[in-house]
Amino acid sequence: MTFENLHLDLQDSILLVTMTRESALNAINMATMASLHRLFGEYIPDHEEISGVILTGAGQKAFAAGADIKEFASFSAQEGKLLSATGHETYFLIEKSRIPVIAAVNGYALGGGCELAMACHMRIAGEHANFGQPEVNLGLIPGYGGTQRLVQYIGKAKAIELLLTADMINAEDALRWGLVNHVVPSGEEVSKAREILLKISTKGPVAVRKVIEAVNAYFTEATDGFHFEVESFGYACGTQDFREGAKAFVEKRKPAFTGH
C-alpha cells in the first residue's frame, strides 16, 4: 500500500508519519487526505505491532499550513460539502484510532493543519509553532472540525474569538489555553512524542484503547459517557491483561501484557 505525500518510518513499534509537501508548507491537498484516510482506515488497523503514531510535517517551517486552496477555489456548494465531509471522516478515523496518535507540531498549524493536529489525541509543539483557523479571511469557515474541536480544547469564548478574527496563537499561548500538551525546543517535537508513546506502550493495550474510547464518548452525541465507562470497566475486568496486571502488582514486578 502506497501513501502519496506521506513518509512512514516504524521504529520500536512507533510509526512516524511525515507529511512531505515541504515546498507547499505541507498543505493538505486531496491526495494527502486520501493517504491519511487509507493509513488510519486500513493500514494501521491491520498492523497490530504498531503501538502509537507520531504525525509531523517535513522541514522546519510547517506542520501543515492549511488545506490546498487552489484545489477547491472554484468548487460549488455541493462539491464543498463533499470535501468537508471527507475531511471529517478522515479526521474521525484519527480521533477514534485504537492506539494513541500524537501531533508533533514543528511550525505553522493553520486551517486544515490545525484541525489535523486537534484530531490527534495529543499535541507536542515546538517553541516556534503557531496555531490558527484563518478561514474567515477567505470568506469560509473551518471545514474539517475546527469549529467543534477548538471549542472542546480551549472553550467557547477563546475559540470563537480565534475563529472570527483569524488570529494566530503561539506555542506558549496554546499551552496555557490547553490546546497543546507540551512545548519543547524546536527540533525536539518528535523525540518528546516518542518518549510519551514509549511510556504508554508499557501499559495494558486493552486499557489504552478503552481510555481513548471512553474519553471520545464524552463528546459523542447520544452517548452516555458515564455508562460507557461502566461497560468498559467491566470489559477490562474480564481481560487477561487485568489479571496479569493485578498479579504483577501483588508480586511487585512489571506486568507482561499481551493485549487480550
pTM > 0.85: yes or no: yes
Q: Answer yes or no: 115 catalytic.
A: yes
Strand-pair partners of 9 = 16
| Domain final position from 200, 216, 241 | 200
Neighbours of 128 (CB within 10 A): 17
In a shared domain, residues 232 and 108: no
Q: Considering the candidates 71, 135, 172, 221, report the single residue annotated as catalytic.
A: 135
Answer yes or no: is 256 within a domain.
Answer: no
Same domain, 151 and 212: no
Domain identity same for 210 and 88: no
For residue 151, tell me if it sits in a domain. yes
Give tens-digit pLDDT for 55-89. 999 999 999 998 888 888 889 999 999 999 999 99
Domain that holds residue 68: 6-200
> pLDDT per position in the chain (260 positions), as tens?
889 999 999 999 999 999 999 999 999 999 999 999 999 999 999 999 999 999 999 999 999 998 888 888 889 999 999 999 999 999 999 999 999 999 999 999 999 999 999 999 999 999 999 999 999 999 999 999 999 999 999 999 999 999 999 999 999 999 999 999 999 999 999 999 999 999 999 999 999 999 999 999 999 888 999 999 999 999 999 999 999 999 999 999 999 999 89
Judge if 211 and 194 occupy the same domain. Answer: no
* Residue at 127 is within a domain: yes
Adjacency order of strands within the sheet including 168-170: 62-65, 108-110, 130-132, 168-170
Q: Considering 184, 200, 216, which residue would you say is the last residue of a domain?
A: 200
| Cβ within 8 Å of residue 129, ≥6 positions away | 63, 105, 106, 107, 108, 109, 170, 171, 174, 180, 183
Q: Are residues 129 and 242 in the same domain?
A: no
Our count of domains for the chain comes to 2
**Of 165, 182, 200, which residue sits at a domain end?**
200
Active site residue 42: no
Instruction: Based on the fold, state whether residues 113 and 237 are members of the same structural domain.
Output: no
120 and 141 together in one domain: yes
Catalytic residue among 115, 195, 221, 244: 115
20 and 102 share a domain? yes
124 with 142, same domain: the answer is yes
